[in-house]
Amino acid sequence: MNNQLTKKKIDSATILSAVIVVCLYVAVFIAEQLIAPTSMLFTVLKKGATYALVAVSMNLCNGFTGIFSLGQAGFMLLGAYTYGILTLPVAERVNVYQYYGGGLVQFTLPWFVAMLLGGLVAALFAFLIGLPVLRLKSDYLAIATLGFAEIIRAIFQWDKLGPITNGSNMLRLFPNFNDFNIRGADGQVTVYLSTLVPLLIAGACIGIIVMLINSTFGRALKAIRDDEIAAEAMGIRLASHKRLAFCISSFFAGIGGAMLAMYQSTVQAKGFTTAMTYEILLIVVIGGIGSVTGSCISSFLFVAASEWWLRFLDQKQMIGGFEVPLLRNGFRLVVFSIIIMIVVLFFRQGIMGTRELPDLFRGRRKAKGGAKS
Amino acid sequence: MWNTVFPYVLSGISVGGQYALIAIGYTMVYGILRLINFAHGDVFMVAGIVMVYMAASGMPLWLCIPLVLVATALVGFIIERVAYKPLRSAPRMSAMISAIGVSYTLQNLVLYITGGLNQLYPTIPWISDSVTIFGATTKMVTIVTPVLTVILVVALVMLINHTKIGMAMRAVSRDFETSQLMGIKINSVISATFVIGTFLAGVASLLYFTNYTTVIQTSGAMPGLKAFVAAVFGGIGSIPGAVVGAFIIGIAENIIKGLDIILFKAGIISGPMGLATFSDAFTFALLIVILAVKPTGLFGEKTTDKV
């Protein structure tokens, strides 16, 4: 903490981390041009980017501020619906809102505007719900935010709001990740960007969150997490800091929700259940509560393991004419849950603890220095 | 008017009794460990699944029912030993995350075993029979539930007030460390709490699934959450509070389910409003309101924060 008080200078570890991140992006760009777009790798990267953003936003609340919020699915739903409703092409509205006469909204916004609005709507609701809820303590707050997410889910399925939300029916046909590909005159894709752009969006948002965490505001949040009373005594305004952190976290959860809508290319309120929040919370825990890098790594690991690497557990496998027992539909999730329980019980620090990417290089160098002397 | 409302009130009382039995498990565990046992609703669901499989194995029902209750209590005991005991000295958030992990695990385990399909709950004779009271036709279970709930709650309160283990529970919930110093075996008290809580959840599952007839891996989540809300509403840590809260929530929820018809018959609205969508949401709205107005719940004890 000492070097943060002295004049900030960019050390080599930070530069090295930045170089690694840039290299990863370049690698993804090259891979996308060379490998067939149907490869599982890209599915994982797209969904991973979405989950990484949501996990980091949850970490901002739960890990850095100590507000144990379980409303993430609700805020994602708000973002996803705002995005879906506002970007749906006018010509398609008649088909999508077939039970509601084409719906009320009869204009289309560019995707980034709709995405930003999705975030803002989520933040607005976070502000409103924060008024009563943020006064509560840890587990009461958790259950109240969880309840809020359920209320939102019910409201969006209400038949009377059908002209706007399409009731309990699906929203579809809005622009998704594949529309980021640049197409030539003949309709053939010339440059594949459908994976890179989501990664860039998530990266930009996470970058903003990191800058926020490293600012005065971020340090105030950490102080609140470590000891509310001491923080208050040091002159940090608890209520406004908590509210702002909650709103910012929800803003990015909303953007994450919009990305999820783009990834799935459909939105339905019934999908944004408590189970989704739990999943994201478990990602945060596996990565390490209080580490942005950890959340990102574990999002990609979680998605890759559940969508790709552990898929074989769901099918019957033969090894040399011997059928491996237990393997059938659902076994993947059982193995997965057991891994999660082991992490929760025995590796409570998660993958990264509270360290970040640059800390890894710093730590290594410090250890080397120690060995020399 | 009364004829329209009465069936909803009746099923509300029935569901309320079932919620009450689940809510007791939440409130007792919270009282002692200060932990929201998110897995409690899933234990309730597991009890239903165990019953399905036991009945399918051809065992007679009179043997199944006690065995299911024992098995459920055992599940509760094992969960406490495996998932919560190692975290006793850890921050409260860790235990809560562990509870969420257990909930996730139980759901996935049941998904694997059942293949994710709705399982038909065996028909328990007598309580599945139809009866007609005051002009409303319903299942026997609707009448049995509140009676059984009251009997079990009275028995539980007697246990807590008049036995040694009950005294130990009260002591532990008042002050964890001091009661340990007084020679109370914390671990056995906590285990006993979990066993009682899950046993009651097992009873609730018998009644609840007789009414709803199918079980799936997610069917414990909603009743679990609602029972928890009931516990908070009544003042967490207080058993009578949980019971009263559960009945209020059960009745309110069922009236909202029928609100369209009730309002229509009363001439207030002219067409369907689709208000039944809000039957779940109302419970949570109630939660947020009570937390904002009176965070300690109806019968909760006042707590003071020490610096």
Q: What is the pLDDT of residues A40-63, one digit of tens each?
A: 888 899 999 999 999 999 999 998
Give chain A's domain count.
1
In a domain, B183, yes or no: yes
Q: Please give the mean pLDDT across all residues of chain A.
A: 86
Whether A66 has a pLDDT exceeding 60, the answer reads yes
pLDDT band at A363 (very low <50, low <70, confident <90, very high): low
Distance CA B10, CA B15 (A): 9
pLDDT, mean over chain B: 88
The answer to whether residues A62 and B97 touch, using CB atoms and an 8 Å cutoff, is no
Which positions in chain B touch A346 (Cβ < 8 Å)?
Answer: 86
pLDDT score, position A8: 56
At residue B132, φ and ψ (nearest 5 deg) are -120, 120
Residue A327: predicted pLDDT: 74
pLDDT number for residue B40: 94
Quick check: is B66 in a domain?
yes
Contact residues, chain A, for B104 at CB < 8 Å = 275, 278-279, 282, 337, 340
Mutate to test the interface with A, among B112, B225, B249, B286 (most CBs of A within 10 A): B112
The answer to whether position B39 is within a domain reads yes
Please check whether residue A133 touches B, CB under 8 A: yes
Summary count for chain A: helices (H), strands (E): 16, 6
Is A370 an 8 Å CB contact of chain B? no
Please indicate, yes or no, if residue B77 is contained in any of the structural domains: yes
**pLDDT score, position A2:** 46
Indicate the pLDDT class of residue B305, thresholds 50, 70 and 90. Answer: low
pTM listed for this prediction: 0.89
Please indicate, yes or no, if residue A280 is contained in any of the structural domains. no
At residue A299, the pLDDT reads 94
pLDDT tens digits, residue range B171-227? Answer: 998 888 899 999 999 999 999 999 999 999 999 999 999 888 899 988 998 899 899
Rounded distance between C-alpha atoms, residue A338 and residue B65, angstroms: 30
Q: Which of A66-80, A159-173, B19-33 has the lowest mean pLDDT?
A: A159-173
Residue B303: which pLDDT band, with cuts at 50, 70 and 90?
Answer: low
Instruction: Choose from A328-337, A341-350, B64-73, B281-290 the range with maximum mean pLDDT.
Output: B64-73
Tell me which DSSP letter residue B125 carries: T
Whole-number Å distance between alpha carbons of A116 and A112:
6
The pLDDT, as a whole number, for residue A3 is: 46
pLDDT at position B168: 93
Residue A279 identity? E
Residue A256 inside a domain? The answer is yes
**Is B16 part of a structural domain of the chain?**
yes
Per-residue model confidence (pLDDT) at position A83: 93
| A247, part of any domain | yes
> Quick one: pLDDT at residue A243?
94
Residue range of the domain that includes A65: 41-274
Q: What pLDDT is attached to residue A312? A: 78
Q: What was the pLDDT predicted at A370?
A: 36
Higher pLDDT, B140 or B199: B199
> How high is the pLDDT of residue B260?
83
pLDDT given for residue B202 in this prediction: 94
Inter-chain Cβ pairs, chain A and chain B, closer than 8 A: 131
Asked if residue B258 belongs to a domain, the reply is: yes
Which residues on B lie below 8 Å from A340 (Cβ)?
101, 104-105
Give residue B252's domain range: 2-293
Give the distance from residue B55's alpha carbon to the nearest chain A alpha carbon, in angstroms: 23
Q: Is residue A88 part of a domain?
A: yes
* A132 Cβ under 8 Å from any chain B Cβ: yes
State the Rg of chain A over Cα: 22
CATH number at residue B16: 1.10.3470
Retrieve residue B146's tokens.
Answer: 């509140």
Where is pLDDT greater, at B138 or B152? B152
What is the tally of structural domains in chain B? 1
Mean predicted confidence (pLDDT) in A98-106 = 82
Does residue B51 lie in a domain region?
yes
Report, as an integer, the average pLDDT of B242-252: 93
Please report whether residue A223 resides in a domain.
yes
Q: Taking a C-beta distance cutoff of 8 angstroms, is the pair A357, A20 a contact?
A: yes
A19 lies in some domain = no
Q: How close is the nearest chain B Cα to the Cα of A337, in Å?
A: 5
**Confidence at residue A97, expressed as pLDDT on a 0 to 100 scale:** 86
**Interface probe, candidates B37, B87, B105, B286, chain A, greatest A C-beta count within 10 A:** B105
Decide if B84 contacts B97 (C-beta within 8 A): no
Secondary element (H or E) of residue A318: strand A318-319
Contacting residues for B98 by C-beta, under 8 A, at least 6 apart:
A341, A344, A345, B83, B84, B87
Mean pLDDT of A247-268: 94
User: Is B299 part of a structural domain of the chain?
Assistant: no
Would you call A345 and B98 a contact, using CB atoms and an 8 Å cutoff? yes
User: What number is the average pLDDT over the span B251-267?
Assistant: 86
A357 inside domain = no
Least confident range of A182-196, B92-106, B187-201, B213-227: A182-196
Is A145 among the domain residues?
yes
Helix, coil or strand: residue B258: coil
Exposure of B216 by Cβ count < 10 A (0-12 exposed, 13-18 middle, 19+ buried)? middle
Put simply, the answer to whether B96 touches A142 (Cβ < 8 Å) is yes
